[in-house]
């Protein structure tokens, strides 16, 4: 049983939880809890190690057996020690180190989500979750977005990482991808452009959702083709990026026959 805070796995998980630099250098991120681990296993996602504690429930014990059958290193850990490296107040009895899979090119995407400077990790995860649920093919992130593999983003995405190709790029690279795929680019704006219910989403397209405070930036506007907005009550001037993103993603998914 692991009891020392100096154990190599304890130190690795703590560093992965707290530092973007470590996640990128190690090509890894942390997955907490039975449900997310089950999602990852179902998607054949690669893990390197799993730490668990004595308070693991029956469902977690079955999960642990699966991990062992897959040849993944499993180590029991003191409950308080596991709690100390959890990103939540109390761990769910199991914490895993997962690999960051290399980006797999999606050929001829029909429905792309582009996130522009989304800074809040929880918002990032929620938008990824909505994207997966709405049938998005792939998600492209501007370089100044929050790390999609941060613990709060992973938790909020509720397993979307294991199904949805995610790539973080400079705007010049995003523009090249749009041109090579011949995508129509829709930008969500406040009170400008066409009512989102009246737009034509028949073509292969990319939807850009902008920053929580400032909306879509100039680099995103430079590649836009069509501007759409969500009508609102006169006393309300805007809704948050997560809500706007969900409304637009599901509308497009419906038009494309994905829902």
Which CATH class for the 8-99 domain? Answer: alpha beta
**pLDDT of 5 higher than 80:** yes
**Phi and psi at residue 92, in whole multiples of 5°?**
-95, 20
Q: What is the mean pLDDT of residues 2-25?
A: 96
Q: Which residue has the tokens 């009550």?
A: 233
Q: Do domains 8-99 and 111-255 have the same CATH topology?
A: no
Q: What is the pLDDT of residue 237?
A: 66
pLDDT tens for 47-61 read 999 999 998 999 999
Q: What is the pLDDT of residue 214?
A: 86
What are the residue boundaries of the structural domains of the chain, listed by start?
8-99, 111-255
With pLDDT > 70 as the criterion, what percentage of the chain qualifies?
A: 98
**pLDDT of 189 higher than 90:** no
Phi-psi region of 213 (alpha: psi -120 to 50; beta: other; left: phi over 0): alpha
Would you call 44 exposed, middle or buried from its count of C-beta atoms within 10 A (0-12, 13-18, 19+)? exposed
pLDDT tens for 28-52 read 999 999 999 999 999 999 999 999 9
Buried b (16+ CB within 10 A) or exposed e, 96-132: bbbebeeeeebeebbbbbbbbbbebbebbbbbbbbbb
Write down the pTM of the prediction: 0.94
Q: What is the CATH number of domain 111-255?
A: 3.40.1280.10
pLDDT tens for 202-247 read 999 999 999 988 889 999 999 989 999 999 886 676 789 999 999 9
Q: Measure the CA dihedral 152/158/160/166, to 10°.
A: 0
Please state, in angstroms and rounded to a whole number, the distance separating the CA atoms of residues 183 and 177: 9
Q: What is the pLDDT of residue 255?
A: 96
Mean pLDDT of the chain: 94
Please state, in angstroms and rounded to a whole number, the distance separating the CA atoms of residues 39 and 199: 35
Find the helix or strand (DSSP H, E) in which 89 lies: none
Q: What is the pLDDT of residue 232?
A: 86
pLDDT tens for 91-101 read 889 999 999 98
170 or 238: which leads in pLDDT = 170
């Amino acid at each position: 049983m692991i009891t020392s805070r100096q154990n190599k796995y304890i130190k690795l998980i703590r560093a992965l939880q707290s530092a973007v630099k470590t996640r990128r250098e190690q090509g890894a991120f942390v997955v907490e809890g039975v449900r997310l681990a089950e999602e990852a296993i179902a998607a054949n996602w690669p893990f390197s190690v799993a730490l668990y504690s004595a308070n693991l429930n029956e469902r977690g014990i079955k999960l642990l057996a699966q991990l062992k059958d897959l040849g993944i290193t499993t180590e029991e850990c003191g409950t308080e020690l596991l709690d100390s490296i959890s990103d939540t107040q109390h761990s769910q009895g199991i914490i895993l180190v997962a690999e960051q899979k290399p980006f797999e090119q999606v050929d001829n995407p029909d429905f792309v989500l582009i996130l522009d400077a989304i800074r809040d990790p929880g918002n990032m995860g929620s938008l990824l979750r909505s994207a997966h649920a709405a049938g998005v093919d792939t998600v492209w992130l501007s370089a100044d977005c929050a790390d999609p593999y941060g613990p709060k983003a992973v938790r909020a995405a509720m397993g979307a990482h294991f199904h949805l190709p995610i790539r973080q790029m400079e705007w010049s690279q995003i523009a090249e991808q749009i041109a090579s795929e011949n995508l129509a680019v829709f930008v969500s704006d406040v009170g400008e452009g066409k009512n989102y219910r009246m737009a034509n989403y028949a073509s292969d397209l990319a939807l850009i959702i902008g920053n929580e405070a400032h909306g879509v930036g100039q680099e995103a506007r430079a590649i836009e083709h069509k501007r759409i907005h969500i009508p609102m009550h006169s006393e309300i001037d805007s809704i948050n990026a997560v809500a706007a993103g969900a409304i637009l993603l599901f509308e497009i998914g419906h038009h494309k026959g994905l829902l």
